[in-house]
């Protein structure tokens, strides 16, 4: 196994790629009593158009197959796999995002058995025709439920504004119509394509011996036979800025309006180092401009334009990136105007100073060191940033290389007026 040491954190990443293509990363933390394991595929809701190496034509599937497949993998001939984990002293969960599907479990005993169970249930699907039909109604109800959630509507509505022609505009679960089109054959085909070991990684963090855990995974994979991997062409959708919907609103049964201001990014084609660098830069910039130590935040709060629901985020995934800022407000139009004004003048903001930058750097350093105490946090960072040469343990080194002038330049170039959009949830009309 390859070893990469991080002496400043007393951490080591053991990694290797097995003959079948599965990437294995183990971070031993013998001082802990538990183990956190994640198995994930580079496959999410955006991957509904598939072109494999050697194929002349792409194949299109209904939206929602990735999420549907995640649900169905929990079924085995013996029943619900969650009960198996429970009997082995483990908890298990899963999620599907726009670009990834992940299955995670945590436990303090039966370490080998739980790792084997995780690998086996994800890699060995069981599809029953009737249960697939039954699942359609369950997922359709789930989709309808989210449509009644104002926070979800606000988040998804902003994404639809920024990317009106991109698959990210569609709910990860799909639509009621698309879910009804999903068949057992489609689930099987997508599993064979995207759940091939060459498109997956397993992350083990916690109280394990790395050589022993690696051998367990190797032995597990040796029992399984896979065809040669085919290169998957992830279809990227590039949208023109003029397609952005500048302003949209909906009415829901809410007490206070919700407003979200978004900025569409243009970060396709970045190298791994550039992407990691940009994510940290944007985290700093948003903290500088809208964090609790900023003049903007204090003014908006003192003027009752925002409350504790106010938040901001930078999302960077394969094929898209965007900034979102907002929350509940009694004056959504004024809050949107103020946020847009801050963004338009970000490079000259009174909050963008070397002194404030130094304060935010120290704040992020403290939060980062504290977060490293969580096994789940460490494991999920490898999922959120499935990098080849970098890892979450490189965060501090990159943070220290960022300059104030660099932040000013990014602020000037990223927050362009033509890239902005506003989505508002208003109380239902009486």
Retrieve residue 161's tokens: 């504004």
Q: Which residues pair with 202 in a beta bridge?
A: 24, 39
Question: Of the residues 11, 16, 31, 70, which is catalytic?
Answer: 70
Tell me the Ramachandran region of residue 14: left when phi exceeds 0, alpha when psi lies from -120 to 50, beta otherwise.
beta
Retrieve residue 339's tokens: 């946020």
Give start and end residues of each alpha helix (H) in 163-227. Answer: 176-180, 184-194, 210-222
**Pairing label, strands 247-252, 420-427:** parallel
**Annotated catalytic, 222?**
no
Residues ≥6 apart with Cβ < 8 Å to 308: none
Q: How many CB atoms lie within 10 A of CB 395?
A: 22
By C-alpha distance, which of 164, 157, 339 is closest to 248?
157
Query: Where is 140: in which H helix or E strand?
Result: helix 129-147
Retrieve residue 299's tokens: 């003014």
Retrieve residue 21's tokens: 């293509």
Give the span between the Cα atoms of 321 and 197, in whole angstroms.
27
* Three-state DSSP class for residue 400: helix
Retrieve residue 168's tokens: 């990210």
Number of residues written out for the chain: 430
Q: What angle do CA 141, 146, 150 make, to 5 degrees?
A: 150
Give the span between the Cα atoms of 110 and 118, in whole angstroms.
12
By C-alpha distance, which of 40, 20, 160 is closest to 93?
40
- Tokens 């496959």: give the residue: 43
Local structure of residue 61 (DSSP, 8 states) = -
Catalytic residues: 70
């Amino acid at each position: 196994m390859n070893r990469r040491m991080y002496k400043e954190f007393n951490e080591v990443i053991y990694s290797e790629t097995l003959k079948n293509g599965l990437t294995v990363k183990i971070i031993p933390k013998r001082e802990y009593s538990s183990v956190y394991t994640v198995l994930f595929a580079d496959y999410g809701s955006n991957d509904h158009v598939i072109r494999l190496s050697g194929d002349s034509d792409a194949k299109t599937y209904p939206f929602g197959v990735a999420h549907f497949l995640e649900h169905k993998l929990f079924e085995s001939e013996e029943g619900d796999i969650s009960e198996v984990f429970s009997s082995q002293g483990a908890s298990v969960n899963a999620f599907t995002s726009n670009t990834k599907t992940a299955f995670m479990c945590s436990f303090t005993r039966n370490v080998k058995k739980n790792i084997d169970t995780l690998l086996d249930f994800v890699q060995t699907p069981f599809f029953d025709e009737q249960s697939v039909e039954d699942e359609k109604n369950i997922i359709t109800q789930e989709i309808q439920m989210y449509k009644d959630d104002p926070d979800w509507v606000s988040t998804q509505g902003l994404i639809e504004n920024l990317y009106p022609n991109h698959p990210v505009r569609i709910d990860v679960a799909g639509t009621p119509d698309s879910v009804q089109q999903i068949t057992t054959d489609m689930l099987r085909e997508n599993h064979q394509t995207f759940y091939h070991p060459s498109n997956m990684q397993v992350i083990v963090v916690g109280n394990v011996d790395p050589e022993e855990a690696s051998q367990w995974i190797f032995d597990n994979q040796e029992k399984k036979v896979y065809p040669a991997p085919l290169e998957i062409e992830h279809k990227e959708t590039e949208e023109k800025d003029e397609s952005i919907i500048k302003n949209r609103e909906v009415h829901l049964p809410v007490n206070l309006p919700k407003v979200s201001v978004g900025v569409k990014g243009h970060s396709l084609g970045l190298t791994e180092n550039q992407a990691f660098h940009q994510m940290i830069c944007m985290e700093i910039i948003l903290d500088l401009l809208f964090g609790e130590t900023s003049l903007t935040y204090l003014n908006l709060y003192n003027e009752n334009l925002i409350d504790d629901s106010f938040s901001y985020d930078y999302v960077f995934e394969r094929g898209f990136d965007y900034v979102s800022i907002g929350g509940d407000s009694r004056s959504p139009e004024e809050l949107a105007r103020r946020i847009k004004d801050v963004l338009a003048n970000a490079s000259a903001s009174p909050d963008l100073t070397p002194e404030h930058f130094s304060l935010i750097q120290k704040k992020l350093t403290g939060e980062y060191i504290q977060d490293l105490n969580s096994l789940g946090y460490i494991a999920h960072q490898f999922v959120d940033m499935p990098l080849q040469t970098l890892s979450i343990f490189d965060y501090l080194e990159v943070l220290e290389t960022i300059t104030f002038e660099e932040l000013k330049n990014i602020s000037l170039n990223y927050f362009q007026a033509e890239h902005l959009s506003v989505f508002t949830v208003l109380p239902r009309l009486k």
